[in-house]
């Protein structure tokens, strides 16, 4: 386009085309990165959806264990359920830990992705806020790279972990006895899916399809095709992968773990005999915390199901207005005869295999107009020694017409449109009341002490940690438990660091959370099998001068 025989005008046009082509290439790259961000968010949502399904299985299993019809059958399978969950959760923790390590190198921020230990739900910082979305070096260095590199070995380790989970799940779920029949699955059958399917067919294993499905879900070939050539698994997955692409790789693997876990639990559910009760009808049910909204409010709504036997009658007993009532029909009418807080409670009688059983229920409701509301937007209780935020209003009245007071609070101060409630230690309950021209709304709160903070070093609270990870440790971290809703910041005042190397005890004292140069030097001398001891830890809440002790940490380098 810019040859010597072209006119100056033709040369200029040619240069403009080159510039335009470059600009289009940049825009395409940006669109690809944005596509990764969208995909990452959706895959993370899918992960929580899979976890929600798994939690649904656990709720079902809890009910099966309680019911006499299915208890005996379920208890036989319960150890397998616990083992499956243990194996899957441990590998998910491992994958999440490596993902957070990559994010910390990219964004210098720990725990970009966090997981609740009880529910296993994952929360995350906005993907779109990542500053190094296009960085191709970090994932390559940590999990790919040259064959002799640590990253290449780490990537291979991740693949091996997935295969180990696959084999463990299959051996756990494939070997059992039922009705005097012994079903088996041998380790040597796990070489590939064809051998597995052939052997399961030979022994007429009743769960062949489910077991092969688990196998295929977690299988990771040693090499994958990339640009018409076979390359190592870790190179295809991580080499020259941008940060937002590597997030998707890890989330895909976490989703594979959860899908395999769910398939294993489905297998258990298919084995447990005897339903809790006969069900022949299922109807949708809208589930919400309240049925009244003020203008500008929002509410989370869930659509659930009601399952029941439409041919059966469900006798009920209930108390209302001090009067006890029994009925063979499970319907009754509530009449709003007086204003204020009301309640009705009773029991539903179900005829189960071991005879009739009563299931208690209760329903609280308010009669009156206008309706008042008091809510704590952060949590359901008040905490002693903490600034508890309270919102109070009565619909139909402006905030200047509403008086709010707290019986039992050490102080109760209005701040903007909210109130700050402080409670002394030793107080068990407080009562908050909103009053507007004769309309009164009252709510009682239980008072809890503030939960103790948690310590961690290199992301570990106890147990073992990789030697390389320990050597990278820079500071002792103290924070509120993940299950706590409180927004409290803490500061490490001092602690003792000791290490045992070659039967020699070395120690030093730290005057802040950060390791001193001597402390870092001690860690650099560690070997596999060495232990580190963090003790005599003192901390305080930011803004407070009161120093408190907390338990230490013992870690073993592996």
Cα–Cα distance list, 21 to 16, 17, 29 (Å): 9, 6, 12
Q: Which residues contact 278 (CB under 8 A, 6 or more apart)?
A: 309, 312
Three-state secondary-structure class, residue 312: coil
Q: Which residues contact 1 (CB under 8 A, 6 or more apart)?
A: 10, 11, 13, 14, 15, 17, 18
C-alpha span between 316 and 313 (Å, rounded): 10
C-alpha span between 459 and 115 (Å, rounded): 13
CB 245 within 8 A of CB 139: yes
C-alpha span between 524 and 93 (Å, rounded): 26
Q: Which residues contact 496 (CB under 8 A, 6 or more apart)?
A: 507, 508, 509, 510, 533, 534, 535, 536
- What pLDDT is recorded for position 91? 97
CB 376 within 8 A of CB 418: no
- What pLDDT is recorded for position 283? 74
- What pLDDT is recorded for position 280? 64
DSSP category for residue 231: E
Q: Is 492 exposed, middle or buried (0-12, 13-18, 19+ CB in 10 A)?
A: buried
DSSP assignment of 171-219: HHHH-EEETTEEE---GGGGG-HHHHHHHHHHTT-TTHHHHHHHHHHH-
- What pLDDT is recorded for position 208? 95
Q: 361, 285, 350, 288: which is closest to 318 by C-alpha?
A: 361
C-alpha span between 445 and 221 (Å, rounded): 56
SS3 content of the chain, % helix, strand, coil (to 5): 35, 30, 30
- What pLDDT is recorded for position 487? 82
- What pLDDT is recorded for position 30? 67
Query: Per the structure block, which two tokens stand in for 416?
Result: 């903007």
- What pLDDT is recorded for position 249? 95
Q: Which residues contact 477 (CB under 8 A, 6 or more apart)?
A: 110, 455, 456, 457, 513
Q: 154, 175, 164, 143: which is closest to 218 by C-alpha?
A: 164
Task: Give first-to-last CA distance, the chain, whole Å.
Answer: 62
Three-state secondary-structure class, residue 110: coil
| Beta-sheet pairing, 490-501 with 531-541 | antiparallel
- The answer to whether the predicted template modeling score (pTM) of the entire model surpasses 0.85 is no
pLDDT in tens, the chain (558 residues): 444 556 666 666 666 655 554 444 444 366 777 788 888 999 999 999 999 999 999 999 999 888 887 888 889 999 999 999 999 999 999 999 999 999 999 999 999 999 999 999 999 999 999 999 989 899 999 999 899 999 999 999 999 999 999 999 999 999 998 877 899 999 999 999 999 999 999 999 999 999 999 999 999 999 998 878 899 999 999 998 999 999 999 999 999 999 999 999 999 998 885 444 556 677 787 666 655 444 455 667 777 777 666 666 677 777 766 677 777 767 777 676 665 566 777 887 766 544 466 778 777 665 555 545 555 555 568 999 898 999 888 776 777 788 999 999 999 999 988 999 999 988 999 999 998 876 888 889 999 988 889 999 999 988 999 999 988 999 999 998 888 888 889 999 999 999 977 778 889 999 999 999 899 888 988 888 888 999 999 999 988 889 999 989 999 998
| Beta-sheet pairing, 553-557 with 463-465 | parallel
| Beta-sheet pairing, 372-375 with 388-394 | antiparallel
- What pLDDT is recorded for position 247? 95
Query: Per the structure block, which two tokens stand in for 456?
Result: 């961690």
Dihedral sign of CA atoms 239, 243, 248, 250 in order: positive
Q: 342, 350, 282, 364: which is closest to 316 by C-alpha?
A: 350
The strand pairing partners of 226, in sequence order, are 229
Query: How many Cβ atoms are within 10 Å of 162's Cβ, its own excluded?
Result: 20
Three-state secondary-structure class, residue 315: coil
- What pLDDT is recorded for position 116? 94
Q: Which residues contact 69 (CB under 8 A, 6 or more apart)?
A: 274, 275, 276, 352, 353, 354
Cα–Cα distance list, 510 to 155, 323, 428, 465 (Å): 36, 68, 39, 21
Q: 493, 473, 16, 40: which is closest to 242 by C-alpha?
A: 40
């Amino acid at each position: 386009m810019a040859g010597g025989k072209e006119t100056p005008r033709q040369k200029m046009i040619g240069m403009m085309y080159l510039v335009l082509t470059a600009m289009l290439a940049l825009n395409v790259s940006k669109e690809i990165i944005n596509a990764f961000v969208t995909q990452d968010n959706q895959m993370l949502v899918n992960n929580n959806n899979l976890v929600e399904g798994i939690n649904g299985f656990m709720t079902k299993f809890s009910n099966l264990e309680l019911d006499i019809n299915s208890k005996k059958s379920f208890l036989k399978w319960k150890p397998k359920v616990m083992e499956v969950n243990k194996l899957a959760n441990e590998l998910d923790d491992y994958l999440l830990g490596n993902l957070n390590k990559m994010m910390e190198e990219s964004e210098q921020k720990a725990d970009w992705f966090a997981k609740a230990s009880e529910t296993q739900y994952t929360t995350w910082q906005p993907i779109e806020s990542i500053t190094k979305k296009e960085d191709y070096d970090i994932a390559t260095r940590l999990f790919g790279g040259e064959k002799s590199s640590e990253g290449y070995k780490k990537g291979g380790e991740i693949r091996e972990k997935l295969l180990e989970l696959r084999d463990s799940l299959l051996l756990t779920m494939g070997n059992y006895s039922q009705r005097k029949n012994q079903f088996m699955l041998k380790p040597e059958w796990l070489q590939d899916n064809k051998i597995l399917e052939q052997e399961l067919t030979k022994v007429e294993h009743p769960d062949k399809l489910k077991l092969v499905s688990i196998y295929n879900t977690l299988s990771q070939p040693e090499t994958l095709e990339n640009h018409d050539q076979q390359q190592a698994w870790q190179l295809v997955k991580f080499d020259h992968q941008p940060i937002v692409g590597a997030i998707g790789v890890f989330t895909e693997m976490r989703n594979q773990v959860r899908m395999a876990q769910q398939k294993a639990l489905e297998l258990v559910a298919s084995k447990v005999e005897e339903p809790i009760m006969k069900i022949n009808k299922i109807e949708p049910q809208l589930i919400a915390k309240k049925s009244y909204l003020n203008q500008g409010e929002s509410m989370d709504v869930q659509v659930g199901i009601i399952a029941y036997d439409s041919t059966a009658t469900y006798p009920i007993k209930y108390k209302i207005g001090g009067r006890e009532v029994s009925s063979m029909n499970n319907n009754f009418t509530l009449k709003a005869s007086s204003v204020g807080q009301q309640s009705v409670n009773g029991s539903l009688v179900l005829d189960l295999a071991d005879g009739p059983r009563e299931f208690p229920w209760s329903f609280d409701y308010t009669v009156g107009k206008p309706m008042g509301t008091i809510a704590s937007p952060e949590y359901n209780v008040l905490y002693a020694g903490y600034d508890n935020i309270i919102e109070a209003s009565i619909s139909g009245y402006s905030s200047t017409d509403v008086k709010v007071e707290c019986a039992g609070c050490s102080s109760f101060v209005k701040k903007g449109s909210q109130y700050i409630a402080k409670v002394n230690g030793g107080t068990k309950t407080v009562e908050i009341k909103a009053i507007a021209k004769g309309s009164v709304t009252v709510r009682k709160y239980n008072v809890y002490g503030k939960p103790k903070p948690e310590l961690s070093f290199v992301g570990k609270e106890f147990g073992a940690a990789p030697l390389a990870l320990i050597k990278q440790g820079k500071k002792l971290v103290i924070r509120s438990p993940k299950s706590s809703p409180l927004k409290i910041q803490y500061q490490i005042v001092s602690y003792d660091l000791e290490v045992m190397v070659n039967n020699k005890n070395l120690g030093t004292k730290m005057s802040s959370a950060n390791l001193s140069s001597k402390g870092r030097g001690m860690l650099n001398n560690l070997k596999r099998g060495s232990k580190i001891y963090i003790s005599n830890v003192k901390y305080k809440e930011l803004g407070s001068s009161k120093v408190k002790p907390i338990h230490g940490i013992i870690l073993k380098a592996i």
